[in-house]
Amino acid sequence: MHSQHLRVPDGDIAIPVFLQVASVSWELDRLNSCLDTLEAWSDSLNARLRQVLETSRQERQQAGLDVTCQQARPVS
DSSP string for residues in 22-54 = HHHHHHHHHHHHHHHHHHHHHHHHHHHHHHHHH
Residue 16 reports pLDDT greater than 50 = yes
Q: What is the DSSP letter of 58?
A: H
pLDDT range class, residue 39, cuts 50, 70, 90: very high
Q: What is the model's pLDDT at position 1?
A: 44
Question: What rounded mean pLDDT belongs to the chain?
Answer: 83
Instruction: Tell me the whole-structure pTM to 2 decimals.
Output: 0.54
- Check residue 15 and give its pLDDT: 75
Query: Is residue 66 predicted with pLDDT exceeding 90?
Result: no
Element spanning 7, H or E = strand 5-8
